[in-house]
Amino acid sequence: ERTGTIKSVGSDLYDVALDDGSEELRCAAEELKREDGTEPSSYLIEERVVVKRPHSYVVRASCDGHRQVTHLEEMTFAESDFAGLPVQAPLKLEVAMEAVAGVLDISVEDKRGAKIRTCEVWLDGVALGTQRGLIPINLPGGGKPHEARVDVSAPGYALVGPSRVTVFAGHTTPLKIRLV
C-alpha cells in the first residue's frame, strides 16, 4: 500500500506527500482511504491516508540532437509489474532515441590553405558567424539528410566552394570552405 499525508486541500481534490518521498497530486476523495480503512467523503490537512489510485507515468527522455521515439503514451503500473524483480531493484525502461541533428566540422581556407578566421558563414540563411570546428545543426524534416546552402561574407574573397553541403543526422560532416 502507498501511504502518506494530506499536504493540501482544494476544490475537493487532495495533494498527498507519500512516505517514499513521491507525491500524488489532485486525488479525489474516492481515490483515498484512512489508514484505519474508513473512507470519509472528505479529508483534513496532515491526515494519514492510503492512496488507492494506480500509478500513471509519462516517460520523457532528452538528449541534445535527438528525439524520443518510444514510450510516448502514458503508462500505468500495478504492483504485479514489480513483483518479479529482485528486492529493491528498479524497473528499467529502455527509451529509443532518434538523431534529428548532425554536426558540421567547418573550416575556411584560401587557395594556399591558410585559415581565414574573419569570414562569416551562413547555412540556409542562418548566420553561423565566424564559428569554426564542430557545430551542431538541427535538421528540418525530423532527421532526414538535409542539403543546405552555404553562403559566406569575406571582404576581398569569393567563394570557390562548396555552395551546398549534405548534413546527416547523427554524423559529423566536414565542410572545408575554399575562398579566392
Q: Which three cell numbers stand for residue 58?
A: 509519462
Query: What is the Cα–Cα distance from 20 to 46, expressed in whole angstroms?
Result: 16
For residue 179, give the nearest of 163, 157, 162 by alpha carbon.
157
Q: What is d(CA 70, CA 67) in angstroms, rounded to the nearest whole number? A: 10
Give the model confidence (pLDDT) of 47-65 as tens digits.
Answer: 999 998 776 667 788 888 8
In the predicted model, is pLDDT for residue 78 greater than 80? Answer: no
Between CA 150 and CA 175 the distance in angstroms is 10
The whole-model pTM stands at: 0.58
Quick check: bond before 162 cis, omega within 30? yes
User: Average pLDDT over the chain, rounded to whole?
Assistant: 89
The predicted structure's pLDDT at residue 109? 96
pLDDT average, residue stretch 138-150: 87
